[in-house]
């Protein structure tokens, strides 16, 4: 059985494990930078250009937007 003291120390041990692992990286740092740049492009840049805010554009206020979403989810007018 695991003692309560060990359970309380588990988040700190996990944090130290990852902190020390990232400190000792050489090539991995560049890979993480590449991953973060790619995620930035996917979530921010693509959203700006390819996914416009259709509800904001087509409906004047929040009540109309909510009605449109409900209608779309339920499938009946």
pTM (predicted TM-score): 0.46
What is the mean pLDDT of the segment spanning 4-19? 82
Determine the pLDDT at residue 2: 65
Tokens of 30: 């560049």
User: Which long-range contacts link 39-47 to residues 24+ away (Cβ below 8 Å)?
Assistant: none
pLDDT in tens, 24-65: 888 888 888 899 999 999 888 888 888 888 888 899 999 999
Residue 76 pLDDT greater than 70, yes or no: no
Determine the pLDDT at residue 77: 56
DSSP for 15-74 reads HHHHHHHHHT-SHHHHHHHHHHHHHHIIIIIHHHHH---HHHHH-SSHHHHHHHHHHHHH
Determine the pLDDT at residue 35: 92
């Amino acid at each position: 059985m695991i003692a309560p003291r060990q359970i309380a120390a588990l988040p700190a041990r996990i944090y130290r494990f990852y902190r020390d692992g990232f400190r000792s990286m050489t090539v991995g740092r560049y890979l993480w930078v590449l991953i973060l740049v790619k995620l930035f492009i996917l979530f921010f840049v693509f959203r700006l250009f390819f996914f416009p805010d259709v509800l904001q554009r087509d409906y004047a206020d929040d009540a109309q937007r909510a009605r449109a979403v409900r209608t779309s989810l339920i499938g009946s007018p």
